């Protein structure tokens, strides 16, 4: 009707208010994310895949403004393709993370996004890098997004050096399930990407197949 105020969510920035995580294992990495996208207090997308490929064996997990995060990922994907053709081989994970870091720092006043970069290369194997406003640090695991504040204690307590591929996949699933239960901006399904020297494996765990815990 004419004269009626438009819904608040139409003027809100679309954000991947989210939970993202990546962890190294001996020979590769596992990335995971939920799928809920919100604008203000409204859910505008329930099944967005926030794990974006940057190259064949390099992915990033997106959080923050959906438009900003996707733009950074697309820019880095293009630059890595060019870089790969110039050197005649697959790029290193650190190169991808450095590109993300440089863009994030150069446009830190204009962009609102946090990307975790993870992947496998022949030189260093599986690697996880946190990039935030120009920061670049390699970590054995990294979490981000609005849901991360609910699970820091869990990941600190449950992480063990030397975990295998299956253990890391379950670690990621458990972390996402706990965060999605507590955080109103996280939910939907869980996306998983496992990367090693043999290739990339993508999985989707439906909400009713996620593990349940004490208060669920």
Catalytic residues, by residue number, are 18
CB 16 within 8 A of CB 69: yes
20 CB-near residues (< 8 Å, 6+ apart)? 31, 32, 33, 50, 61, 62, 63, 116, 143, 144, 145, 148
Structure tokens at 118: 């993870």
What SS3 class is residue 75? Answer: helix
What angle separates helix 93-106 from helix 66-87, to the nearest 10 degrees?
130
DSSP E strand boundaries for the chain: 14-16, 20-25, 28-33, 37-39, 42-45, 51-55, 58-65, 113-121, 125-132, 135-138, 141-144, 190-196, 199-205
CB 33 within 8 A of CB 17: no
Neighbour tally for 202: CB within 10 Å: 14
């Amino acid at each position: 009707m004419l004269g009626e105020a438009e819904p608040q969510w139409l003027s809100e920035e679309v954000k991947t208010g989210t939970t993202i995580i990546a962890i190294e294992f001996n020979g590769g990495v596992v990335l995971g994310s939920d799928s809920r996208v919100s604008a203000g207090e409204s859910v505008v997308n329930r099944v967005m895949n926030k794990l974006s490929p940057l190259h064949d064996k390099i992915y990033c997990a997106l959080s923050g403004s959906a438009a900003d995060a996707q733009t950074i990922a697309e820019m880095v994907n293009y630059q890595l393709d060019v870089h790969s053709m110039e050197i005649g081989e697959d790029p290193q994970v650190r190169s991808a993370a450095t590109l993300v870091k440089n863009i994030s720092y150069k446009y830190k006043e204009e962009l609102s996004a946090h990307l975790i970069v993870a992947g496998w290369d022949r030189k260093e194997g599986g690697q996880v890098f946190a990039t935030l406003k120009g920061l670049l640090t390699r970590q054995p695991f990294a979490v981000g997004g609005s849901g991360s504040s609910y699970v820091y204690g869990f990941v600190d307590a449950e992480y063990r050096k030397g975990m295998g591929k299956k253990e890391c996949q379950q670690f990621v699933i458990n972390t996402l399930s706990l965060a999605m239960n507590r955080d109103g901006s996280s939910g939907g399904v869980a996306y998983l990407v496992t990367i090693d020297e043999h290739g990339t494996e993508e999985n989707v765990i439906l909400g009713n197949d996620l593990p349940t815990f004490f208060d669920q």
